[in-house]
Amino acid sequence: MADAEQTKVCPLCAETIKAAAKVCPHCRYWQKKWSFQNPQTTQTIGGILAVILIIGAMMGVGVFFDHLVGPKRDFAPYRDQITIINSTLGFRMSGSNLMVSVVGVVTNQSEFGWKNLGLEAQLFDKDDSLIDVIPANGDYRGVTVLPHATAGFKIESRATKKESDYASDKVYVRVAKDIRSWP
Ligand SMILES: [Zn+2]
């Protein structure tokens, strides 16, 4: 028979079948293991994709929780990269109290975002003597500065000297929190 060479033996059931057969007609065994028509192959690929998706989702959840409760960056090494680029003294009356304020702009040259900036203003007279301080623990906790960005700020406290005594100011960023901190 001319067709005799075009047969093979099914590796599963040992029946002689056509060489071109993809599925053994006797036992339904797939002759080619890796074929997209083979339901076993597509099930295996589907399983691998499902595992990858589950691992990805778990990593996403991990990153999310790390963002919330993971270790936070300490501000101290970045202190020199968060600087005041300008500031201006201002005054207003609040009832019978004179209030002294400083408004200005802070710039962040670090790669990281910072929030809850604690800004301290030292206030000087004409002779450059320190006469008053706006402390860094005030209620101006809203200043956030993104990486390589600037932010405006305003800090204020009750003046202990009369307006004409104040001549200049110098502002320092004393503390800041990692922008990922919660809250
Ligand atoms: Zn077979």
Say how far apart CA 132 and CA 36 lie, in whole Å: 79
Residues contacting 148, CB < 8 A, separation 6+? 108, 109, 110, 111
pLDDT digits (tens, 9 = 90+) for 62-91: 888 877 777 889 999 999 999 999 999 999
Q: Are 119 and 57 within one domain?
A: no
In the reported structure, the alpha carbon of residue 48 is separated from the centroid of ligand 1 by a whole-number distance in angstroms of 28
Please indicate, yes or no, whether residues 54 and 96 belong to a single structural domain of this protein: no
**CA of 49 relative to ligand 1 center, distance in Å:** 30
Q: How remote is the CA of residue 42 from the centroid of ligand 1, in Å?
A: 21
Residue where a domain stops, chosen among 20, 52, 69 = 69
Any idea what the CATH number is for the domain that residue 171 is in?
2.60.40.10
Domain boundary among 69, 92, 110: 69
Count of structural domains, the chain: 2
CA of residue 14 to ligand 1 center, whole Å:
6
Instruction: Flag whether 152 is in a domain.
Output: yes
SS3 10: coil
Comparing 20 with 182, the larger pLDDT belongs to: 20
Q: Which of 69, 98, 127 is the last residue of a domain?
A: 69
- Reply yes or no on whether the pLDDT at 3 is more than 70: no
CB 141 within 8 A of CB 116: yes
Q: Are residues 60 and 80 in the same domain?
A: no
**Structural domain boundaries, residue 53:** 2-69
pLDDT, position 9: 94
129 and 50 in a single domain? The answer is no
CA 37 / ligand 1 centre spacing (Å): 17
CA atoms 145, 146, 147, 148: torsion sign:
negative
Do 125 and 172 fall within a single domain? Answer: yes
Does the residue 183 lie in any domain?
no
How would residue 5 be classed by pLDDT, with cut points 50, 70 and 90?
low
Handedness of CA 101, 104, 108, 112 (dihedral sign): positive
**pLDDT, position 103:** 97
* Alpha-carbon gap, residue 78 to 75, rounded angstroms: 5
16 close to 3: Cβ distance less than 8 angstroms: no
- Measured in angstroms, how far is the CA atom of residue 36 from the centroid of ligand 1? 20
Ligand 1 centre distance from Cα of residue 25 (Å): 7
Residue 12 Cα to ligand 1 middle (Å)? 5
**Residue 92 shares a structural domain with residue 165:** yes
Answer yes or no: is 18 within a domain. yes
Residues 6+ apart with CB under 8 A from 112: 73, 78, 147, 178, 179
Q: At which residue do the structure tokens 């020199």 appear?
A: 80
pLDDT at position 139 over 80: no
Q: pLDDT tens across 147-179, in order?
A: 999 999 999 999 999 999 999 999 999 999 998
Q: Do 131 and 42 share a structural domain? A: no
